[in-house]
């Protein structure tokens, strides 16, 4: 049934509508809720920094593909530049939402910047094939130098702000394509913060799957006092002397023990990006050892499991407002506010659809919603009854205002 579309089908069907609405102004008014507002809150496991945005998100801009570099059999780096040569400003850790047209259909996907933030005339994103994946394979197979690529952003909250006076002690844990934002953070901080040290743990299946293998090894040689890299391989070659197995909680805990010999836990700042089990293991381990949640950061590339169990929900009426206009929808059991709103023709905006970018932010003026954690909303935004419509589901009748943040 149309109202029960999968997320990918929803992306396909809704993107034209969303693009059509991108020029709409932000609502400045408050909702007309006369009743006390109810909002179900959950513990934040990751506290994020406020997002910054280097370029407007309202309309995609076109960047020139100046090079496509094959990193591994399954991953390419796409080097991008402004057609007019202007610098591109971003914080290490940010991502672009790439808008591509394949067989006449538009698709959006988020790709983190892997290059250093201070080399702003060109930026690189690095895309690893996902088995059966539409956009990742298309980029790997078809994108070439001289093409243009439409993008939104850069944006995101999984960031650091380089500052030469900082003496950070960073633990970066990634696996597979999760290395991309960590690579940007590593490159940026090593060059701009002479007192910062980085411990990078990177898990892959095999030696050939290591993205940036040579670049990482060169960085390690150049910054041998400040960068230590531990590769963890599931199927290493015979001569492999390093870590073997999955980068799971037990492996991470052992490697962390080594780091803690010379580095006190409260000084560490932990960033992780990769498959869900890797991030979960890192999160559980560092928080159980007493690292403050504010020093733990994660970026999710894959949709969260979320409350997929539709039986937890019943159909709920939803009222949506924007600049004096209103739409009435019915959120079917388990449907997100975004899905319900788009199905009713409301111009709810979105980008990553994963709770990672904040583009779909709405203000709940009445009712109660369920939102899986972690997500990119800041504690203060939650306190002000904001929700991410792409992952929020109605537990009661809900009214919300479309109110995407200008800063995401």
Residue nearest to ligand FAD (CB): 133
Minimum CB separation of residue 330 from ligand FAD in Å reads 26
Answer with the entry of ligand FAD, ligand FES, none that 388 interacts with (C-beta below 5 to 8 A by kind). Answer: ligand FES
Q: How many CB atoms lie within 10 A of CB 211?
A: 24
When CB distances are held under 5 to 8 angstroms depending on the partner's kind, the choice from ligand FAD, ligand FES, none that residue 109 binds is: ligand FAD
Q: Quick one: which segment of 203-211, 217-225, 307-315, 354-362 binds ligand FES (CB under 6 A)? A: 354-362
If one asks whether residue 112 binds ligand FES (CB under 6 A), the answer comes out as: no
Indicate the helix (H) or strand (E) that contains 123. Answer: strand 122-128
Report residue 183 as tokens: 């690579």
Which range touches ligand FES (CB under 6 A), out of 111-119, 202-210, 317-325, 348-356? 348-356
Residues contributing to the site for ligand FAD (CB under 6 A): 8, 95, 109-112, 125-128, 130, 132-137, 177, 180, 299, 301-302, 352, 354, 356
How far CA 258 is from CA of 28, 197, 219, 346, in Å, comes to: 52, 15, 21, 53
CB of 357 to ligand FES, least distance (A): 3
Can you tell me the distance from the alpha carbon of 152 to that of 144, in angstroms, rounded to the nearest whole number? 20
Other CB atoms within a 10 A radius of the CB of residue 137 amount to: 16
Distance CA 194, CA 165 (A): 8
CA distance 46 to 63: 32
* CB of 10 or CB of 291, closer to ligand FAD: 10
| 386 interface partner picked from ligand FAD, ligand FES, none, CB below 5 to 8 A per type | none
Which residues, 380 to 399, sit near ligand FES by CB under 6 A? Answer: 388, 390
**3-class SS at 280?**
helix
Task: Please say which residue, 162 or 275, places its beta carbon nearer to ligand FAD.
Answer: 275
- Give per-residue burial for 306-316: e unless 16+ CB within 10 Å, then b: bbeeeeebeeb
Give the three-state DSSP class for 9: helix
What does the binding site for ligand FES look like in residue numbers (CB under 6 A)? 350-353, 355-360, 388, 390
């Amino acid at each position: 049934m149309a109202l029960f579309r999968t997320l990918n089908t929803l992306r396909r069907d809704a993107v034209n509508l969303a693009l059509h609405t991108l020029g709409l102004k932000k609502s400045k008014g408050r909702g007309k809720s006369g009743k006390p507002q109810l909002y179900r809150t959950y513990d934040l496991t990751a506290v994020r920094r406020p997002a910054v945005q280097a370029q407007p998100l309202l309309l995609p801009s076109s960047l020139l593909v100046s090079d496509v570099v094959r990193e591994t059999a399954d991953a390419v780096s796409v080097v991008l530049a402004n057609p007019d040569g202007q610098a591109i400003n971003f914080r290490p850790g940010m991502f672009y939402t790439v808008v591509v047209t394949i067989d006449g259909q538009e698709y959006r996907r988020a790709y983190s910047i892997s290059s250093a933030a201070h080399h702003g005339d060109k930026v690189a994103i690095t895309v690893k094939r996902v088995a059966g994946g539409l956009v990742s394979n298309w980029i790997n197979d078809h994108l070439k130098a001289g093409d243009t690529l439409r993008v939104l952003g850069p944006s995101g909250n999984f960031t650091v702000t380089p500052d030469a006076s900082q003496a950070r002690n960073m633990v970066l844990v990634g696996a597979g394509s999760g290395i991309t934002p960590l690579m940007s953070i590593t490159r940026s901080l090593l060059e701009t913060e002479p007192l910062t040290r980085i411990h990078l743990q990177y898990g892959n299946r095999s030696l050939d799957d290591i993205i940036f293998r040579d670049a990482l090894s060169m960085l390690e040689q150049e910054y041998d006092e400040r960068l230590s890299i531990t590769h963890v391989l599931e199927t290493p070659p015979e001569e492999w002397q390093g870590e073997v197995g999955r980068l799971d909680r037990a492996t991470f805990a052992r490697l962390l023990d080594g780091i803690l010999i010379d580095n006190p836990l409260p000084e560490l700042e932990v960033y992780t990006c990769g498959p869900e089990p890797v991030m979960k293991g890192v999160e559980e381990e560092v928080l159980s050892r007493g690292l403050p949640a504010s020093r733990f950061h994660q970026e999710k590339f894959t949709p969260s499991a979320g409350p997929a169990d539709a039986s937890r929900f019943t159909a709920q009426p939803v009222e949506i407002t924007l600049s004096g206009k209103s739409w009435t929808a019915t959120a079917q059991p388990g449907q997100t506010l975004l899905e319900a709103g788009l199905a009713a023709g409301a111009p709810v905006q979105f980008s990553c659809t994963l709770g990672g970018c904040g583009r779909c932010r709405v203000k709940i003026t009445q009712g109660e919603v369920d939102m899986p954690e972690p997500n990119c909303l800041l504690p203060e935004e939650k306190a002000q009854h904001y929700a991410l419509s792409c992952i929020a589901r109605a537990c009661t009748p809900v009214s919300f205002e479309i109110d995407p943040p200008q800063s995401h």
